[in-house]
Structure 1
């Protein structure tokens, strides 16, 4: 006789048997599916072209290292090459991160640096008219006055993928060196106009270059700071022709900016490793390290580099190419403005007055990076 107890035991036995049979079938199906997927992954991976991680030598380089491959297991992941980023040169990585498009537009940015923003009560009345002149003559531009503290965070955002550049910037021992470095860094990454806080805009940048010169044919606009026409010029300037860096207009990624950023980064880290990255121990002057001497040398090196363009007759570009200029001159993709354009009113070296048609920016030579007691006007004879 089938009692209630026996019926309950029998029911449990039947349910257990059904569950075991179903689990066995599901496991076998899962294994078959997994095997098929692994086979598909392997066949797909064989069809993928191999990449070397070396960027081609072209005007618009590709990524200097390939994106990580999706590994099918831990062993494959461990075998992926990890040295490509390290072995790619700093200049190549900067070129990838900030590509240069000569035919592109000049970004509508105006960059300045100061201890305070114009919204701060501590900004001071001295620089307000000068700062305002840039916004007044460029109403459609984004005008940013970046404080020293904000500059660090901005550069961390822009150069996160190039950590040695950030290390170099934060390691520089003097404010003037960081101010020099910042102008190159912001123009390389974003382009536009950098101008010192003690400069006054006389004419809009849209009037700097004659309209018949296509904007798609140049990517850097610079001015002459010194056209030293005296025998003792070495006592006053570092170069016979010296380009100013208090006002620069550029398209992002320009090779001159890339080279000057790489140079400062490499020299900073070299001196840091050597233990001489201190004000009185450096083996370079500020002018040669981050200032107008380095800027001038980098420009001349670029203008004579056949990798970018060749001059007619293979004649080298020297100071003689620019001495005595009274109008703009285009060399390759660089437009050089005469001394009057960014240094009107200095009453020497052929510079004309601020009301001259070629006067675009007036520099007050405040030496804003110096203590107030050390700021002096330039000597004029």
Structure 2
């Protein structure tokens, strides 16, 4: 006889059996589902193991993120631009590419100087502090940098990384004054602005150097006359009848005169290095003035002013006679030449007036302390 107790036990047994059967079925379905997901992920990671689909579209993913060449095409059909084409350009072409010249552009607001120490260093020297400060005082909106000899190497390596032979030439120069000469051309070619020696004092701001009626977009180089010796023995004192000074130069970056002189010094230096004659007392019999100094600077400027590549020539060459006896600024092409008073006031010769003259812009103290005594240029006092 089925009592209530027996009926209750039987009901519990049946419900337990149904639960176990249902749980086993769900576990099997869940396991199958996980296997299907794993298979799908594996198919995405390793498509080559998946069978091709019946749609005719390949199931494999491309092995590279760009389409393969057209059927039957060859590398001859592709545009080729070998890197060797760049390095085979001449040095002047490389410099022109790296430092393009924009005559209509602005003169950069930089003032560059070089010395053994920065003004922040206690060894800078009290003699040069008033002179160095004068440039900042008269050019408050300019970036004024005094670059040490050690820092110059790293700066040039950065600026001329794409033209390594220039840096090689700079490091190969055997005398500090030659490096100082070369540095001024290099920094102005790459960055532009004003370079001026550490022993120069600014008398008037560069904004006053050129008459306001002369558009700044029409010239890219401002230079001054160092020497205009109207005497028979001028060769005993100066290398050129008209000699342009290079202790103060203003330029827009990339100016052809700077490009030409940088290329000339680089080529000549590396040639002499290869011959083993690039030594302080050798240098093929050439003086520093001729190698990197004002003689080479003067020759490079005259060559530029007489180059039909840049100017339409009227048949008359630009010579020293064009600039002798000047008392006001003169513009020739895109070069402005200032009279001797502008950068050499107070030398008491060659028509130079005193530092209080309206045309006096920069006073040079002729210290040249980084030069050997034989290379220091001093004014001739009669």
- Tell me if TM exceeds 0.5: yes
Choose 25-34 or 342-351, whichever is displaced more.
25-34
- Is the CA contact (8 Å cut-off) linking 1:198 and 1:368 kept in structure 2? no
Distance 1:93 1:323 in 2: 36
Moved >2 Å (runs of 4+): 17-22, 24-36, 39-43, 45-48, 370-379
Tell me the residue number matched to 1:55: none
2:311 is aligned with 1:285: no
2:161 is aligned with 1:160: yes
TM norm structure 1 = 0.82
Tell me the residue number matched to 1:294: 296
2:138 is aligned with 1:149: no
Of the three residues 59, 65, 68, the one matched with 1:38 is: 68
Cα drift, residue 380 of structure 1? 1.0
Distance 1:303 1:363 in 2: 26
Distance 2:94 2:200 in 1: 33
Consecutive unaligned residues of structure 2, counting only runs of 5 or more, are 1-31
**Aligned pair in 2 of structure 1 residues 26, 179: CA closer, same or farther (>3 Å)?**
farther
Choose 23-32 or 164-173, whichever is displaced more.
23-32
Cα drift, residue 35 of structure 1? 11
Tell me the residue number matched to 2:322: 321
Q: Deviations over 1:311-332 (max 9, x none)?
A: 4x32110000000000000000
Tell me the residue number matched to 1:183: 184
- Is the CA contact (8 Å cut-off) linking 2:111 and 2:193 kept in structure 1? yes
Tell me the residue number matched to 1:205: 206
- Is the CA contact (8 Å cut-off) linking 1:223 and 1:338 kept in structure 2? yes
- Is the CA contact (8 Å cut-off) linking 1:303 and 1:332 kept in structure 2? yes
Distance 2:302 2:377 in 1: 30
Tell me the residue number matched to 2:51: 25
CA RMSD of aligned residues (A): 3.0
Of the three residues 285, 306, 315, the one matched with 2:308 is: 306
- Is the CA contact (8 Å cut-off) linking 1:304 and 1:310 kept in structure 2? no
Cα drift, residue 175 of structure 1? 0.2
Alignment of 1:191-270 (within 5 A): 191-270=192-271
Cα drift, residue 85 of structure 1? 2.6
Higher-Rg structure is 2
- Is the CA contact (8 Å cut-off) linking 2:48 and 2:60 kept in structure 1? no
Cα drift, residue 29 of structure 1? 2.6
- What secondary structure, in the 3-state scheme, does the structure 2 residue paired with 1:113 have? strand
TM norm structure 2 = 0.82
- Is the CA contact (8 Å cut-off) linking 2:224 and 2:338 kept in structure 1? yes
